[in-house]
C-alpha cells in the first residue's frame, strides 16, 4: 500500500517537474512571458495587451510549445527576409490529407516555395490594376443594396454585408466567379462552406491539435470541415475545367496562376489531374 502511494507521489512529482521545466523555458531565456495573456480572448486583443505590458518581445505557450511574439522591426525583417529559410513553415494545423493543406497558407516547405513562385507574378502592379474594375463593380453593387436602407434609416447588420462584400470581391478577383453573395447571402453554398471553414468556434479536436499536436501520432484528427473543403475545391476545379476546355482567359489570380503553373490543357486532361481531383 505504502509502495503504491509512494509510486503515485513520485509520478506526480515527475509530471510537475516536467511541466515546470516546459513552462519556464522563456524565463530561462530571460524573455518576459505572461501565462495569463492567452486567456481565450481573440489573439489581436491578447497580443496587444502583452506587448503593451512587456515590450516588443514576449514569450507565451501553446500547450507545451514555447512561442514567441515580436513587434521589433529588425527582428521581423530577420524572420521574413534575411533568415526566412529557417522560418518558412507555418504551424501544422491541417492534417496532411486535408485538401486545405495544399494551399499557400498551410503547405510545408518546399511545396510552399513552389506554390509561392507560381503566385508571385500575379501580384505585379499591372495585374493588380487589372482587377480594379471587378472590385469597383462589387462596391457599386453593395452601395446599391445599402442606399435604400440608408434612405429609410433602417438598422442594418453590417457584419453580414461586410462578409458578403469581402467574399464577392475575393471570388471575383481570385477566380472570376460571380457568387452574388451580397444579394443572396443565405442561400449560397460556396459562402456557407467558406464560413464553416474560417468562421467557427473551436471544438475540442481543434484545441488538441493546437495544444497537444503529438496526439496526431495516435489519433487521426482533422482541423477543418472536410465537406466544406470539398465544396470549395470542387468549385475551383470546375472553373479550371471550364476555362481550359473553352479556352477562356479572365484577368484574375486563378488565371494568372494557371498561366504560370503546370495546369495546361494537356495536364488537366491527364491522369495526374484526375488523381489530384481524387485527393
The set of residues, in sequence order, having a beta carbon less than 8 Å from that of 95 and lying 6+ positions away, is 101, 216, 220, 221, 222, 223
**CA angle at 254 for the pair 140 and 102, rounded to the nearest 5°:** 125
Q: How far apart are CA 196 and CA 204, in angstroms?
A: 16
- Nearest CA-CA partner of 159 in 189, 185, 194: 185
Section 46-50 average pLDDT: 84
Section 197-224 average pLDDT: 78
pLDDT, tens digit (0-9, with 9 covering 90-100), for 142-179: 999 999 988 888 888 888 888 889 889 888 887 777 78
Q: How far apart are CA 181 and CA 13, in angstroms?
A: 57
pLDDT, tens digit (0-9, with 9 covering 90-100), for 107-116: 888 888 888 8
| Domain shared by 218 and 130, yes or no | yes
Q: How far apart are CA 9 and CA 86, in angstroms?
A: 42
Number of domains in the chain: 2
pLDDT, tens digit (0-9, with 9 covering 90-100), for 10-32: 999 999 999 899 889 999 999 99
Q: Which residue has the higher pLDDT, 34 or 241?
A: 241
| Domain shared by 217 and 262, yes or no | yes
Q: Is residue 108 part of a domain?
A: no
Q: Is residue 34 part of a domain?
A: yes
User: What is the domain range of residue 226?
Assistant: 118-278
Q: Is residue 98 part of a domain?
A: no
| Rounded-to-10 torsion of CA 268, 272, 274, 275 | -150
Q: Is residue 103 part of a domain?
A: no
| Domain shared by 269 and 159, yes or no | yes
| Domain shared by 47 and 131, yes or no | no
**CA angle at 51 for the pair 48 and 52, rounded to the nearest 5°:** 85
Residue where one domain finishes, among candidates 87, 105, 134: 87
Q: What is the pLDDT of residue 264?
A: 43
pTM beyond cutoff 0.85: no
| Domain shared by 256 and 179, yes or no | yes
| Domain shared by 271 and 136, yes or no | yes
Burial 216-230 (b: 16+ CB within 10 A, else e): beeeeebbbeeebbe
| Domain shared by 148 and 266, yes or no | yes
Q: Is residue 12 part of a domain?
A: yes
| Domain shared by 161 and 242, yes or no | yes
Q: Is residue 46 part of a domain?
A: yes
Amino acid at each position: 500500500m505504502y509502495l503504491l502511494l509512494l509510486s503515485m507521489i513520485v509520478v506526480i512529482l515527475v509530471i510537475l517537474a516536467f511541466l515546470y521545466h516546459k513552462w519556464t523555458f522563456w524565463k530561462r531565456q530571460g524573455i518576459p512571458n505572461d501565462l495569463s495573456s492567452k486567456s481565450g480572448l481573440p489573439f489581436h486583443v491578447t497580443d496587444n495587451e502583452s506587448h503593451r505590458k512587456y515590450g516588443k518581445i514576449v514569450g507565451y505557450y501553446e500547450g507545451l510549445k514555447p512561442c514567441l511574439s515580436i513587434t521589433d522591426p529588425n527582428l521581423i525583417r530577420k524572420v521574413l527576409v534575411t533568415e526566412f529559410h529557417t522560418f518558412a513553415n507555418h504551424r501544422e494545423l491541417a492534417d496532411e490529407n486535408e485538401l486545405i493543406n495544399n494551399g499557400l497558407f498551410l503547405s510545408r516547405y518546399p511545396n510552399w516555395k513552389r506554390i509561392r513562385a507560381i503566385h508571385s507574378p500575379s501580384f505585379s502592379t499591372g495585374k493588380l490594376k487589372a482587377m480594379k474594375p471587378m472590385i469597383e463593380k462589387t462596391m457599386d453593387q453593395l452601395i446599391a443594396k445599402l442606399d435604400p436602407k440608408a434612405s429609410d434609416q433602417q438598422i442594418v447588420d453590417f457584419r453580414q454585408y461586410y462578409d458578403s462584400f469581402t467574399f464577392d470581391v475575393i471570388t471575383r478577383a481570385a477566380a472570376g466567379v460571380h457568387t452574388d453573395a451580397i444579394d443572396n447571402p443565405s442561400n449560397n453554398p460556396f459562402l456557407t462552406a467558406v464560413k464553416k471553414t474560417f468562421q467557427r468556434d473551436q471544438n475540442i479536436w481543434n484545441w488538441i491539435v493546437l495544444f497537444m499536436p503529438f496526439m496526431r501520432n495516435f489519433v487521426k484528427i482533422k482541423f477543418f470541415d472536410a465537406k466544406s473543403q470539398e465544396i470549395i475545391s470542387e468549385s475551383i476545379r470546375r472553373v479550371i475545367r471550364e476555362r481550359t476546355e473553352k479556352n477562356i482567359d479572365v484577368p484574375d489570380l486563378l488565371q494568372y496562376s494557371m498561366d504560370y503553373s503546370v495546369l495546361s490543357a494537356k495536364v488537366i486532361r491527364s491522369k495526374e489531374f484526375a488523381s489530384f481531383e481524387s485527393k
